[in-house]
Amino acid sequence: MYGPAYLELKEAFWFEFIGLSRFTIDFWIIRGDFNVIRYINDRKGNSSLRADSNRFNDIIWNFSLVDYPIGGRLFTLSNGRLSPNMAKIDRFLVSPSWDVKFPHAYMNS
């Protein structure tokens, strides 16, 4: 899954993301670059939360999704400069039933 970078496209993306729930049973995993951080600590340099962060967290909470850590990495994106801006925008989100079936799963990007 790939989330849009432009704010004006985000709401349509969240609507489509929520719509996926009607096509699934209770056992799912979604990997994606959501182009949004969840927490202020998910970004190094130019750190601020926007409304899309709150919306993303609401969706994760409403679906009881589990946000798996990715390979022990703090950040999944860097601008590659000497003093880089970095962010964690890639995620593995799993349903609670998936988490129960595979409690020791380790995600690698």
Query: Which CATH number characterizes residue 32's domain?
Result: 3.60.10.10
As a whole-number percent, the residues of the chain with pLDDT over 70 amount to 84
For residue 52, give the nearest of 90, 11, 19 by alpha carbon: 11
In a domain, residue 21? The reply is yes
Per-residue model confidence as pLDDT tens digits over 31-51: 888 888 888 888 887 666 777
In a domain, residue 77? The reply is yes
pTM for this model (two decimals): 0.79
In a domain, residue 2? The reply is no
User: How many structural domains are present in the chain?
Assistant: 1
In a domain, residue 106? The reply is no
In a domain, residue 23? The reply is yes
Of the CA atoms within 13 Å of residue 84, those in its CB half-sphere come to 10
Domain that holds residue 81: 7-101
Per-residue model confidence as pLDDT tens digits over 14-30: 888 888 777 766 778 88
In a domain, residue 109? The reply is no
Q: How far is CA 24 from CA 19, 27, 29, in A?
A: 10, 7, 10
